[in-house]
Amino acid sequence: NAGVTQTPKFRVLKTGQSMTLLCAQDMNHEYMYWYRQDPGMGLRLIHYSVGEGTTAKGEVPDGYNVSRLKKQNFLLGLESAAPSQTSVYFCASSWFRGSEQYFGPGTRLTVT
Amino acid sequence: TQLLEQSPQFLSIQEGENLTVYCNSSSVFSSLQWYRQEPGEGPVLLVTVVTGGEVKKLKRLTFQFGDARKDSSLHITAAQPGDTGLYLCAGALGGGADGLTFGKGTHLIIQP
């Protein structure tokens, strides 16, 4: 039982490049979330999903896209990376809205 | 405007001392959670409080939910170096609002 896993753990991109972050959970959770964590800003919700095939915008969605084609996977895409997207990205999942969230180990992304 | 205000932002104390961390809001939450995050890892749930005035104890950690369900506190007795970490409070708003709202966190360092 791995919980929530994220790949990759580290990535360096140049401005304008694209990439996809993968999140997988094996707890059969309906809800999945993508956050970014920046110094002094706390955790901010980018996008979330309330079930397979659904996605919704969070607090800071601009510049990101997501997809939830399978219940266990939640993908976060950056189409054209910008230095402002340098951050640590966390994926999380939960049984229902407002319940305990289980977090992955994070992806540290640097955009130069 | 930050929905959940945590104080202090940073706290460095000696091993054996007691401390209290606060989480305040003008909003009413249906529940409030406390997470602990260590460097390079995702947050991990410590406790969930649901009822106004509720007090929960986890070994040397005592969590309290305010009577009006707008605030919470975390008290650590006889702090140990292993308590070092980032403590995050997160509130669930009622009425089907999106997920959890996180505070910016309290960075706690316990010096031996």
B2 pLDDT tier (thresholds 50, 70, 90): low
pLDDT at B1: 55
**Under an 8 A CB cutoff, do B99 and A33 touch?**
yes
Q: Put residue B14 in one of left, alpha, beta given phi > 0 → left and psi -120 to 50 → alpha.
A: beta
pLDDT at A96 over 90: no
Closest alpha carbon within chain B to A91: B42
Range A96-103 average pLDDT: 88
B66 pLDDT tier (thresholds 50, 70, 90): very high
Strands B10-14 and B106-111: what pairing? parallel
Which residues pair with residue B6 across a beta bridge?
B23
Structural Rg of chain A based on CA atoms: 13
User: Of the candidates A61, A58, A45, A37, which has an alpha carbon nearest to the alpha carbon of residue B104?
Assistant: A37
Rounded Cα–Cα distance for residues A19 and A39 (Å): 23
User: Of the candidates A15, A18, A19, which has an alpha carbon nearest to the alpha carbon of residue A7?
Assistant: A19
**Under an 8 A CB cutoff, do B98 and A45 touch?**
yes
pLDDT at B97 over 80: no
Q: What is the pLDDT of residues A61-95, one digit of tens each?
A: 999 999 999 999 999 999 999 999 999 999 999 99
Instruction: Indicate the residue of B41, B48, B99 with minimum beta-carbon distance to A97.
Output: B99
pLDDT at B95 over 70: no
On chain B, the residues whose CB falls within 8 A of the CB of A33 are 99
pLDDT at A99 over 60: yes
Rounded Cα–Cα distance for residues B87 and A94 (Å): 20
Q: What is the pLDDT of residues B3-39, one digit of tens each?
A: 899 999 999 999 999 999 999 999 999 899 999 999 9
**Under an 8 A CB cutoff, do A106 and B43 touch?**
no
Instruction: Indicate the residue of A40, A42, A45 with minimum beta-carbon distance to B99.
Output: A45
**Under an 8 A CB cutoff, do A43 and B31 touch?**
no
Average model confidence (pLDDT) across chain A: 95
**Under an 8 A CB cutoff, do B30 and A40 touch?**
no
B82 close contact with A: CB closer than 8 A: no
Range B85-98 average pLDDT: 81
On whether the CB atoms of residues A92 and A3 are closer than 8 A, the answer is: no
pLDDT at B96 over 70: no
